[in-house]
Amino acid sequence: MKGILRIAYELLVNDRGKFATLVLGITFAVFLMVLITSMFSGVLRRSASTVTNIGATIWVMDPAVNTIANSIGMPAYVLDAVRSIEGVKYAVPLFSGGALVKLRNGTYQPVTVIGLDDTSLLGRPALIEGHIEDIYAENGFIVVKDAEFSKLDNPVLGADFELNDHRGRIVGIARVATTGLFGIPTLYTTYSRAIQYIPSPRFTISYVLVEPKSTGAIARIKEQVNHLGYEAFTKEEFIQRTSDFYKYQTGFGINLLLMTVFSFIVGLSISGQTFYAFVLENLDKFGALKAIGAKGRELVYMILFQAGLTAMLGFGLGTGLCTVLVTIAKLRLPSYAAMVTYANLLLAFVMVLIMAGVSSYIGVRRVLKIEPFDIFRG
């Protein structure tokens, strides 16, 4: 068997042009599949960045809410009712809304304002500069230093701005785990200041953040919240709900899916046609091996080895090229959202195996039909 596989290897690399075409075709297809699915994963991760950054265990919201960006106000009695549920350790309100700030240079910039509970500041970001207690100072805001930080004119501690005819002052600069998706800077302040500065409807509680006494209490809390006419989701469930919205209720998911399928079809067609041409060119050699006693299954092993080797080389090169490109893009473009995950790599690997399987099937069918007599007669 070792000798057969060595012969298969020599046949494969003997024609360097065909071998390079095979590998490059699969490399290109894998590169596109991993890149497209990585972009999709990065966008989905950033779509729920606020949920990730705040990190509350349970989120209570209006049933119509699909994403963190589309909050619907709830009356104050919901907060009191949730606090009274058995198994709740504590529950606090959260404000999330959009606003337009006027910078000192006279330009206007949309921002997302997160209003944290005045007492606990649950969900506060980690500060790079400043002190968290300064958020209670007059007009105090904390700005997130992320890819959108420069849109606020790279503010420093003490920088001021105008928000709905109110003066705001930067008292802290923070970092968060995940940057937002829509290119809008984020400001944190207290809940009371947020609802004072930003015009809101009658109900101002965007979400109620809940910490259960134990993991076993989560099911009871969710059931009691449902009786109130509202929904309660764990952090992971809310992230998944947001991801499902972008995947299934917008055109974003289906468009990227189609691009991935097209990449697969291109790779499959290139590898299948090139491998079939390779088999045809070496048909006399396979016939000679069959004439000197090589069994059908040994020829099948040769074809599988050749297809598998080219597929694995293409997978490795395509994945490596995509990873390098994504890394460079992230260093140069902080707002670039692509993220290579194990799921992306597994999907690409499965598709490469399908390419190798189809190419092998095409080659095996042709090789098994060889009659040594026809080879030598020719």
**What tens digit of pLDDT does each residue of 259-292 get?**
777 877 877 777 777 777 777 777 777 777 777 7
Task: Report strand pairing: 140-144 vs 186-190.
Answer: antiparallel
Strand partners, 153: none
Inter-CA distances, 26 with 72, 121, 345, 359, 366, Å: 48, 52, 14, 11, 22
The average confidence (pLDDT) of the chain is 85
Strand partners, 110: 100
Tell which wins on pLDDT, 322 or 304.
322
Quick: pLDDT tens for 38-83. 888 888 888 888 898 998 999 999 999 988 888 899 999 999 999 9
List, in sequence order, every beta strand (DSSP E) within the chain: 58-61, 88-102, 108-116, 126-130, 140-144, 160-163, 166-175, 186-190, 207-212, 231-234
pLDDT for the residue 299: 76
pLDDT for the residue 15: 73
pLDDT for the residue 202: 85
pLDDT for the residue 48: 84
Domain chopping of the chain, boundaries: 2-46+251-377, 75-229
Highest average pLDDT, of 13-22, 225-234, 361-370, comes from 225-234
Quote the tokens at residue 186: 């984020």
Strand partners, 108: 102
Between CA 378 and CA 376 the distance in angstroms is 5
Cβ-contact 263, 33 below 8 angstroms: yes
Tell which wins on pLDDT, 223 or 340.
223
Alpha-helix residue ranges (DSSP H) falling in 249-295: 251-281, 283-291
Check pLDDT > 60 for residue 376. no
Q: Which of 348, 329, 266, 305 is nearest to 24 (CA)?
A: 266
Highest average pLDDT, of 112-116, 276-280, 281-285, 346-350, comes from 112-116
Q: 375 pLDDT band (50/70/90 cuts)?
A: low
Check pLDDT > 70 for residue 372. no
Q: Which of 265, 259, 257 is nearest to 25 (CA)?
A: 265
Between CA 300 and CA 304 the distance in angstroms is 6
Cβ-contact 113, 194 below 8 angstroms: yes
At 245, the amino acid letter reads F
pLDDT for the residue 370: 66
Q: Give percent of the chain above pLDDT 90.
A: 40
pLDDT for the residue 374: 56
DSSP string, 341-376: -HHHHHHHHHHHHHHHHHHHHHHHHHHHT--HHHHH
Between CA 226 and CA 204 the distance in angstroms is 20
The CB-based long-range contact list for 15-20 (8 Å cut-off, 24+ gap) reads 15/278, 15/281, 18/274, 18/277, 18/278, 18/281, 19/310
Tell which wins on pLDDT, 173 or 372.
173
